[in-house]
Amino acid sequence: MGLSPWLSKASIDKNAEQLGVFAVYLGQYGANRSQQGNTYSTICSKLCAVRWFHRNTAGYDPGVNASHAILLRGTRRFTNPVVKQQPLTARLIRLIFEELDLTQTRHQLLWGGLLLGYFFLLRRSEYLFIGRQFHNYTLRLEAIKFYDNHERLVAPKRAMAVGISLNGAKNNQFGREEMRYHSKSNDSLICPVRAARWVHKAAAVLSTSANDPALSVTQ
């Protein structure tokens, strides 16, 4: 664009103009390989990131004027509304189960992964591939542990609880390890311990190594 990466400390009008150009560019082309325009919320997040970086690095907030707010309102009008997704319920999980054949290894992995994500409230990036890639904090097979009632590590068949460790997440940029636990449920179908067992059973057939993503399919 031929513009300086640093916004002015004094000229609010110039800042509004430059941020406005940036917002329009994001709306039309985005900042991605597919060059698809960003949504209103993404544009606002990136504009806030620019101002935060100035405050954190240069020690000042490059202010903007009223025209900047008007531009953003206009951008919002041309952004498609967010499609709200319905929550995953136990009833829906049972319907999904009816469509699976747990004699098939991949169905075992799918079922176990679905329940782990449900019980441990996992974000997509925390346990699934994103396209053909996965994040470095994706749940690994070795991070799934089985425990008895005395919190001792046991074989999956003897487990009364399951624990997972996550090293980082979308909202944990410093990679702090986080442990999450769930006890065995009284439901013979929807149970976190049984979910982890299905994942381990499928992983054994697929020869998944301990450091691989737990839900990877290597065959």
The predicted structure's pLDDT at residue 169: 61
Of 151, 140, 149, which Cα lies nearest the Cα of 211?
140
Asked if residue 213 is part of any domain, the answer here is: no
Do residue 112 and residue 197 come from a single domain? yes
The total number of structural domains in the chain stands at 2
Do residue 73 and residue 94 come from a single domain? no
Q: Could you read off the pLDDT tens digit of each residue along the chain, which spans 219 residues?
A: 566 777 777 777 787 788 888 888 888 888 777 778 888 888 888 888 888 888 888 888 887 777 777 777 777 766 666 666 778 899 999 999 999 999 999 999 999 999 999 999 888 888 877 667 777 778 899 999 999 999 999 999 999 999 999 876 665 655 667 889 999 999 989 999 999 999 999 999 999 999 988 988 765
Distance between CA atoms of residues 137 and 148, nearest Å: 26
Residue pair 97/189 in contact by the 8 Å Cβ criterion: yes
Do residue 96 and residue 72 come from a single domain? no
Do residue 95 and residue 192 come from a single domain? yes
The neighbour count for residue 13, using CB atoms within 10 Å, is: 12
Do residue 34 and residue 104 come from a single domain? no
23, 51, 77: which is the final residue of a domain?
77
Sign of CA dihedral 65, 66, 67, 71: positive
- The rounded Cα 39 to chain-centroid distance in angstroms is 18
pLDDT tens digit string along 121-156? 888 888 877 667 777 778 899 999 999 999 999 999
